Amino acid sequence: MATKKYIELQDFSDADLASEISQTEAQLKSLKFDHAIKGLDNPMSLKEVRRDISRLKTEARKRELSNMTNDQKAMRSKIVARRKRK
């Protein structure tokens, strides 16, 4: 079942998605710093922000894969198969 946050991400443009990723990563860095220096009132906010970053990056990768041509997808499949053999 899709969460509300995930549904909202689908409405973002590619540029908005990229800027949101960079902003959220900066927010995580700031939270980590604050947590190390003085502690956070709610340390679970770190977990929430990490999950938000993962949602954003997953949506970006999903869009990247959907824009690939069939030749690019075939080449990607070969690379994945080659990695599995090792």
Using CB atoms within 10 A of its CB, is residue 57 exposed (0-12), middle (13-18) or buried (19+)?
A: middle
Residue spans of the domains in the chain: they are 4-85
Rounded Cα distance between 45 and 27, Å, is: 11
Fold of 4-85: Helix Hairpins (1.10.287)
Length of the chain counted residue by residue: 86
Look at residue 10 in the predicted model and tell me its pLDDT.
Answer: 86
pTM to 2 decimal places:
0.80
* C-alpha distances out from residue 82 to 4, 85, 86, Å: 37, 5, 7
pLDDT band at 64 (very low <50, low <70, confident <90, very high): very high
Rounded Cα distance between 47 and 43, Å, is: 8
Q: Which tens digits make up the pLDDT trace of 4-23?
A: 787 888 888 999 999 999 99
